[in-house]
Structure 1
């Protein structure tokens, strides 16, 4: 039976193998003796738990350690390539999908223009068929799959994986995304807001020692993923970080698609940048075109991008005073189009925030760029399926009488 955010497994007594596995997740080979010393457990208990973890394929013997005399002891380490994860990052007008291992390393990926406003059925049909393609062209099948995670550009009720009144996703409200995907793949399916998974991906791979980070996505819309105290913050209904609909000082006359006026998205989102460039007689269709204009020193493009950055910075300054992050990462198609948006953000944040809040604050562009979302989605699954409790569940499932009979 599939584990999902809708029907979680009831808690089961631990085997202890899951806790031991957490020590091996860093990939460093260790001997039974090292593990016994680290945990205080007996050699026989360590040996039994290592056998259990090998049986489910999460660890393997990786060769002998240095010997101090006699037969060299064997070492054991995490084998992330033993299983796979499928990840999807769906934006307003594009989709990026990836196949990863259990360490979040991308094995293969694909990208396509996808209109989220087309509705859940055609978009998720494309996701499922593309997932099947990724597995097939890499010689994998569904039996190797540990789980799936999908990021969408709107608020998500985390406990169910269902979108909650997403402004730019007509037809998606309360749609059962996990259940739809599980018709094809009998694995856990997790769903989250796209900027949340970007924050998780950027923090996991570029800032692993940073516990207070904000990831700002600047694309068609504007949102922020908040990691505070090392934990992703979703809020009561999953709408935390909806930065795009905070009012910008002095922008009250600009109408927004949400029905209000003066929203940050209406002044600095992708359509607003295109509209402002059109006022200068410059027609653009994509963020990359804007970036190319800026790289060519087009003064209108530079001015529009810089002002978008200032507008974003004016709102982020309030967030910095409130949350005191140590790192702000800017990503998304507009932020990735050049340094001018980031420069505008820095200008206002450092000017408007308190000196103490900005004393050690770093504001940078995304290192993962367009892959931040799928990396974060992969980590969402990995954290779920490799927790101590989940690993204990796999061990118990493997050692149950039904499983033993099936393997004979």
Structure 2
């Protein structure tokens, strides 16, 4: 079973982050930043040294007394596994305790085959990727709602056979290490935020691909809401007069007019059959007017849905990921609509752009929650 986070674990994680990021290289510097006694920091640092998480490496400059021992993160030993499941593929990665991605690959899966077959295949891929490396934990991003208390899938719309399945428990059984699972949009948001912004800032990351999802980060942490549904703009009603039904039972939801799947459907309705959203994007790059218009319209719809969120939440940044984020017309349409519909104060310093983490955003986020869930000194 995964270990529950506690204040000591949080403090250990913060110490590792400060040393890894170059913000602190000694016990005294850590004590100053954390606003605690040097003796308190020394106890925690020694525990991390004993666990081979930190190492002492030479001496720093003296400020009047004895030269302090310099600290560094030991990245040569333990690793964290991360995985993101999609409908037909899984992205897996191997990261160190500083959050650096050392290796990654994409393996084919069929999520509709059910949880047992899928997780066994992903676990096998993870073991092969890790080799003889010591693994401390695994974090997994799932393409559906997750009940955090049980680590199970909760009312997924595109994961037949997964309802109520305890993914966290099964992963721990298959890999023999603590496991943590969360929704993929949440973990993409977490991963992108910490690569782009400070822990004190707020952001929204929208995954615009075959489906649409988003994650909200408040002061560096995932905001999940009362029932873990925060950030689910998928079912924001854009136009109730539209005939296309949504999986939620309503009509005119954002996903029915702005997702990659909706673009494929709309192209077919206009007499141009395409296999997937990637084909729509390719046509737009080649100047096809129908594809370009549909992509711009989708961006406008997403911008409309986001404008209310931006006005209410006032984030520092909106990051766009997923296949549609590769389209500049799509991003331009989102940006244009948000700026048009929002109060000037809400957009005064707002950053709206494609996520920089690309296809590995969820891996960074998954590794981060995996580190949060284990005792680094164990």
Q: TM-score, normalised by structure 2?
A: 0.89
Count of aligned pairs between the two proteins: 375
Equivalent residue number for residue 405 of structure 1:
none
Cα distance between partner residues in 2 of 1:379 and 1:18? 10
Following superposition, the deviation at residue 282 of structure 1 comes to: 2.9
Inter-CA distance 344–29: structure 2 relative to 1 (3 Å threshold): closer
Cα distance between partner residues in 2 of 1:311 and 1:19? 40
Following superposition, the deviation at residue 172 of structure 1 comes to: 0.9
Following superposition, the deviation at residue 62 of structure 1 comes to: 2.0
Cα distance between partner residues in 2 of 1:46 and 1:268? 50
Q: TM-score, normalised by structure 1?
A: 0.83
Following superposition, the deviation at residue 117 of structure 1 comes to: 2.3
Following superposition, the deviation at residue 297 of structure 1 comes to: 1.6
Inter-CA distance 64–172: structure 2 relative to 1 (3 Å threshold): same
Q: 258-267 vs 205-214, which deviates more?
A: 205-214
Equivalent residue number for residue 114 of structure 2:
119
Equivalent residue number for residue 205 of structure 1:
195
Instruction: Give ranges in structure 2 of 5+ residues lacking alignment.
Output: none
Inter-CA distance 77–311: structure 2 relative to 1 (3 Å threshold): same
Q: Does 1:313 align with 2:310?
A: no
Q: Does 1:332 align with 2:329?
A: no
What is the DSSP-based 3-state SS (H/G/I as helix, E as strand, rest coil) of the residue aligned with 2:174?
Answer: coil
Following superposition, the deviation at residue 373 of structure 1 comes to: 0.9
What is the DSSP-based 3-state SS (H/G/I as helix, E as strand, rest coil) of the residue aligned with 2:210?
Answer: coil
Please give the per-residue CA displacement for 1:206-252, whole angstroms capped at 9, x wherever unaligned: 22356210001111211110112333111122122221111113553
Cα distance between partner residues in 2 of 1:295 and 1:26? 39
Inter-CA distance 194–37: structure 2 relative to 1 (3 Å threshold): closer
* 2:58 and 2:69 in contact (8 A); partners too: yes
What is the DSSP-based 3-state SS (H/G/I as helix, E as strand, rest coil) of the residue aligned with 2:336?
Answer: helix
Correspondence list, 1:6-85, <5 A: 8=4, 24-27=19-22, 30-31=25-26, 39-41=36-38, 50-66=45-61, 74-85=69-80
Equivalent residue number for residue 177 of structure 2:
187
Equivalent residue number for residue 353 of structure 1:
342
* 2:28 and 2:38 in contact (8 A); partners too: no
Inter-CA distance 48–176: structure 2 relative to 1 (3 Å threshold): closer
Q: 1:270 aligns with which of 260, 263, 288?
A: 260
Equivalent residue number for residue 294 of structure 1:
284
Following superposition, the deviation at residue 3 of structure 1 comes to: 2.5
RMSD: 2.8
* 2:239 and 2:253 in contact (8 A); partners too: no
* 1:251 and 1:267 in contact (8 A); partners too: no
Cα distance between partner residues in 1 of 2:45 and 2:315? 40
* 1:153 and 1:193 in contact (8 A); partners too: yes
Please give the per-residue CA displacement for 1:127-175, whole angstroms capped at 9, x wherever unaligned: 1111111112xx42xxx11111111111111122111111111111110
Following superposition, the deviation at residue 360 of structure 1 comes to: 1.8
